[in-house]
Amino acid sequence: MKKLTITLSVVAAFGLSAVASDALIEKAKQAGLKPIPENKTELYKLIDNPKNPVTDEKIELGKKLYFDPRLSKSGLISCNTCHNLATGGVDGVDVATGHKWRGNPHHLNSPTVYNAVFMEKQFWDGRSPDLEDQAQGPIQATPEMAATKEHVEKVVNSMPAYVKAFKQAYNDPKFKPSFKDVADVIAVFERTLVTPSRFDEFLNGCDKALTKKEKEGLKIFIDKGCASCHNGVGLGGSMQPFPAVGKYKYANVGDFKGDKNGMVKTPTLRNILETRPYFHNGAVWDIEEAIKIMGETQLGVKISDKEADKIKAFFGALTGKKPYVRYPELPASTDKTPKPDLN
C-alpha cells in the first residue's frame, strides 16, 4: 500500500507539472512567441525570398563572399569582421568599427547576423526591407567597408573561379556578376544562419527542454509585457518607439534617434547572452541591467533583481545551435584584382 501511494504521488506530481508546462506553452503562443520550424520545408518557406531563391550553389558562393575581405576598399574587412559567426554573429565591441579603424559616427552597435532573416526590417532604423537590400549597405558605407559598386564588381570579375561560380549559381553561361548579384548571394547565405534552441523544443511540447527556473523566467517575461515587442519566430524584429514610456539612461551615447518617427528595430533575443554589449549604442554590458532598463524605459514597470535573474535564466534557453560553417578557401587574386587601398 505504501509503495502504491508513493507511485500515485509521483504520477500526480508529474501530471501537474505537465499540465503547468502545457499552460505555459499555450501562454507563450498566445503572447505571440513562435518556434523555429522543425520541418525543413516549413523553415524554407520562412527563410526563402521568391525574388532571390535559396539554392545550394548560392549558399556556397555567398559564404565565400561573406568571408572575403577583398570586397572592402582596404582589403582587410569582410562581412564577418563585424558579424563574426564565431562570436554570436557580432564583433563584441560597443561601436561598429570599420575602414581606417573608425567607429560608426552615430555610435551604433553591430546587430547579430544570426536569425536576421526573421526580422521584419534591417538596420536599427529599419531602412532596409530585407537582407538583399541590407547587404548592399555596409559594403559601400564609408565607416565600414568603404567600397564602391565598381570596386566590388572588379574584384569578383577579376577571379575566374568567382565568375564560374556565378554562372553555375544562375545557370547562365554568359552571366557577368554585378554588385547587386554579390549582395544577393551573400543574403542567401545569411538566410541560412538560423539557430534552433531548447526554447523551440519547449514550444513544440518538450517539457524537459527548459529548467524550472527558465520556465519561471519565461512566465515573468510574458507577464511583464516583454513579449509585446520581443515576439514572433525571431523574438524581435519589428519597429517600436524607443524610448517608449521612460528615459533611456544612456541616451547621450551617440546621437541615434531612430527613424523619422523615432522608431527603432527591436533586436532579436535569440543568443542574447552571446551578443554583448546591448542596445543600439552598445552602452550596456550586463544583461540584468539591460533587462531592468527595458522594464523602466519600454514598459513602465520595475523588474526586481530576482525577476531579472530568472529572465536571464530564460534567455539561456534561447542560445541556439549554430549551423556548421567551414571557413572557405577563397580564389586567388589576379593581376586584374584591385589592390588594397588603406586611405
Q: List residues with catalytic annotation.
A: 144
CB 191 within 8 A of CB 117: yes
Helices within 86-234 (DSSP H only): 131-140, 149-157, 160-169, 179-191, 198-203, 212-223
CB 263 within 8 A of CB 126: yes
3-state secondary structure 257-292: CCCCCCEEECCCCCCHHHCCCECCCCCECCHHHHHH
Q: How far is CA 146 from CA 4, 84, 95, 182, in A?
A: 74, 19, 17, 16
Residue with cell 542560445: 319
| Nearest Cα to Cα of residue 97 among 85, 105, 89, 86 | 105
Q: What residues contact 179, with CB distance under 8 A and at least 6 apart? A: 136, 139, 149, 150, 152, 153
Strands 263-265 and 239-241: antiparallel
Neighbours of 141 (CB within 10 A): 16
- The phi, psi pair for 311, rounded to 5°, reads -65, -40
Report the sign of the C-alpha dihedral through residues 183, 179, 156, 165, in that order: positive
Report the chain's terminal Cα–Cα distance, integer Å. Answer: 85
CA 172 – CA 273 distance, rounded (Å): 44
CA 118 – CA 131 distance, rounded (Å): 10
Q: Which amino acid is at 81?
A: T
Q: Is 96 helix (H, G, I), strand (E, B) or coil?
A: coil
